[in-house]
Structure formats: C-alpha cells, structure tokens
Structure 1
Amino acid sequence: MDTPDVAANADISVLVVDDHPMWRDAVARDLEARGFVVAGTADSVAAAGRIAGAVQPRVVLMDMSLPDGDGAAGTALVLAAAPKAQVLILSASDERDDVVEAVKAGACGYLVKSASADELVAAVHATAAGQPVFTPGLAGLVLGEFRRMAAAPEPTPAAALTPRETEVLRLVAKGLSAKQIATRLHLSHRTVENHVQATLRKLQLGNRVELARYALENGLD
C-alpha cells in the first residue's frame, strides 16, 4: 500500500476504538499528524456505537478485544448506528476466528497492531475508499473461509450466530428481560444488549418480539 499525501486525508474522519488509553491516544495523534480528522475516540462497544451515531465517521478503527464485547459486536453496533462507515479492525490478535467473525459482522479489513505507522495511514486511506485491507496472510485466510462457506450447504440464519448469541436468544424467547439475562449469564446489561443487537442484525429482524417469534419458530426456546 502506498502512503498517501497528507492533503489527501483531510476529508477523512476517523473514530478510534480501543480500551488502552495510551495506544488509543497515540493512534489518534498519529492520524491527526497525517492530516486525518479524528472525530472521536471510544473505549468500549457501547461507547463506539453511541459516538459513531453522533459523529458519523467515514472510518472506524476497531480493536478486537473490548471490556463489554468483541470487535465483531462492536462492528455490528457501529454499522447499525453509522451505516456509511467503513470499519477496519486494528488488533493484536491474528486468530482465524477473530478475523472471520469481524468480516462476517461487516468489517472491510483487518490489520494487526504490529503494522507500521505508514502502513496504518495507508490502510485507513484505502478503507475510506472502500478497499479491503488485510495484514499479509490474513486475506487468504478470509478468502479460503468464504470459499468453504460457499461450497457448504445453505445454513439456516441461526447458524451464523455465536454460541453466546444463541444462548441469549433462547432466554429472550423465554421472556427474560436484558437485566434478567445479564444476571443469569453473569454479564453486564450492556453486553447483553450488544448481543441482542448483533442477533437482530444477523437475522434481519426489527425488534425483540420478532426475535422471540423467530426463536420459537426455529425450536430455540
């Protein structure tokens, strides 16, 4: 990836999502120094969704490990709040499952944190243009996974849910509130809400009533 001129970055707004303040602030400073507009920073999935809705960033740099959920959940929440945003995962993890889940949730790229400042700048610029960006080696992994999925029998929509999302869905079908589900699963109320929102997005449903009906119709009660 070629590093673009600073002037080419002036109309690109970026939201930086990471729960490590020193890293988050350093990335924000580096981007501002290269001409990007840092529209905001966030330290959690919930904050990312809220701020993305308010500032409508062009690019979201999303960490994969956050205190109230993972980068896949964060990606889904951000895209629900800011549909025109492009999400680039910037994570210390290069685990296959993390990469695939992030892309399934709507991320258009995945960069590991060992990338240089120039690589990050080029990646953000490419992401803003809608181009997929992956750390070398990860693009082949994603392509291989999606080829495998295309060759597999057509799954039911529920097959796309994570085990935790399925667990939350079953409890929604039983009529439990988010607070009750959080208590039962030893999660925060916000984390449960994030799982519900991600499940609604994946199943293309509008609300909890439709979610409960879906669960009942598919034997997930």
Structure 2
Amino acid sequence: MTVHNVRIGVLDNDACAMQYITLMLNQLNHRNGLELSLWSTTFPTRAIQECQSGNSPTNILLLDMALNGVTGPQVARILHQVSPETAIIGMTSYEPELYRAEATQAGIPTILDKTTLSEQLPSAIIDVLRTPHPTFTPAAVPTGREPTAMPRLTSAEQRILTLSASGLNAKQIATRLGISADTVFSHRRNIKAKFHASEWHDVITACRDAHII
C-alpha cells in the first residue's frame, strides 16, 4: 500500500466545528495509507500565512465557505496566488449548491456538506491525492485587485487585527484580551512595521482589500 504523507489545514470560524473536524481527521490518521500532519485556525490571515510560509507545505486546506467578514472563495483566490500547490476542499453547513458557482470560479472543485462530513471526507482526501492539482485560472480573480502576500503575524497580532477590524478601540481590545492598552499599542506598532504602514487605518484597509478581515 502506498503511504501518503499529507499536511492538512482546517480553516473554520466556528471553534467547536474546527475541533470536531480536527478530531475526525485524527481518526483517519494511519488509515487508508494516510499519514496526516494537521493544523487548524479560525483566522483567515493565519491560514494564508501557514499555507504560504509554514514550516512545511500544506497539501490540502479544508475551507469553510462562510467565515467572519469574508467568504471561502475570497480566501481561495488569495491562496491560489500565494500557495498554488495547496489543494482546497470546501465545506459548509448550508446547501453546497448555494456556493457552487462562486466556488468553481475561485478554483474550489469540491464542497462537502458538514452534516455528512464524516462519510465524505476520507474519499474526498483520497480523490485530491489521486487527481493532478489543477492550475488556478487568473481570470477568476476580480479585475483591478490582485491578491498580495500577507506578512506573518503572531496569534496575538491576529487577534488584535481582527478585533480592530470589528470596530473596537485599543481600550476595548485591552479589556477583551485582559491586557493593557499599552500592550495593544505595542502590538499595533509591530503590525504596522510588518505591513510597512505608517497609519493603523492603512493596515485595516490593506487587509480588507485582500478580503481577509
């Protein structure tokens, strides 16, 4: 039996669903010739960074179609640019047909129904490994706005960026995270440096333009 060493990422804005899917993947490990290495996140920025510049290549990303402030197809368009070797399997709690057209345009060939994920996932992974990974067609990217590679952020920086994008100020973020406002400002300075931005709103604008917050 051929053994496939596969690195799989899970991006889902529902932490409980993400943990369930990760547990399901762990149960598939060492079965059907699969040796799995897993990572998971609720942050689109983290998923993009991990696929783009993780310690080892991500072979498959399980991508929720409806995330906070961004859709799965929007994330997929960025991933095809920064990590073209990563295959994407879509998943949704809603009717998959609702996303079919947009997903196809974004280079997501498969959308799984979360209610039957345990039945569909093993064969979907095997199908991805057996099928040559198609090249993303640039025509599927909205004209006039090319996805760009994002700087690598820490988990704390990702949380602060997400909370800032939701409209919270530094004091509110500090209260939410149980840290001081000075610490929030320190993280913001580090984030601005990584984005080569002089103003905080420029960081938020860049992330919104890239459809990751």
TM-score by length of 2: 0.58
Tell me what 2:151 maps to: none
Asked if 1:33 is matched to 2:24, the reply is no
Q: Which runs of 5+ in 2 are unaligned?
A: 30-34, 134-138, 146-198
TM-score by length of 1: 0.56
Tell me what 2:113 maps to: 112
Contact 2:66 2:72 in 1 (8 A): yes
Q: What aligned pairs does 1:185-204 form with structure 2 within 5 A after superposition?
A: 189-194=206-211
Measured against aligned partners, the alpha-carbon deviations of 1:144-198 in whole angstroms (never above 9, x if no partner) come to xxxxxxxxxxxxx69x749xx7xxxxxxxxxxx994796xxxxx65222238xxx
Measured against aligned partners, the alpha-carbon deviations of 1:71-118 in whole angstroms (never above 9, x if no partner) come to 001111222222111101011122545221111111121111111413
Aligned structure 1 segments of 4 or more residues deviating by more than 6 angstroms? none
1:8 Cα deviation (Å)?
Answer: 5.8
Contact 2:112 2:120 in 1 (8 A): no
1:30 Cα deviation (Å)?
Answer: 1.3
- CA change 1:116–1:88 in 2 (3 A) is closer
Contact 1:64 1:70 in 2 (8 A): yes
Tell me what 2:161 maps to: none
Contact 1:15 1:40 in 2 (8 A): yes
Tell me what 2:126 maps to: 125
Q: C-alpha separation between the residues in 1 aligned to 2:202 and 2:107?
A: 29
Matched letter for residue 23 of structure 1: A
Greater relative contact order (Cα < 8 A, sep 6+): 2
DSSP-derived class of the 1:15 partner: strand
Q: What aligned pairs does 1:42-81 form with structure 2 within 5 A after superposition?
A: 42-55=41-54, 56-81=57-82
Matched letter for residue 209 of structure 2: V
Tell me what 1:19 maps to: 13
Which has the larger share of helix?
1
- CA change 1:131–1:118 in 2 (3 A) is farther
Matched letter for residue 104 of structure 1: Q
Matched letter for residue 82 of structure 2: A
- CA change 1:17–1:116 in 2 (3 A) is closer
Q: Which runs of 5+ in 1 are unaligned?
A: 1-6, 133-156, 166-176, 183-187, 196-221
Matched letter for residue 86 of structure 1: A
Tell me what 2:104 maps to: 103
| Paired residues, number | 146
- CA change 1:179–1:34 in 2 (3 A) is same
1:50 Cα deviation (Å)?
Answer: 1.0
- CA change 1:178–1:72 in 2 (3 A) is farther
Tell me what 2:170 maps to: none
Q: C-alpha separation between the residues in 1 aligned to 2:17 and 2:41?
A: 12
Matched letter for residue 46 of structure 2: A
Tell me what 1:205 maps to: none
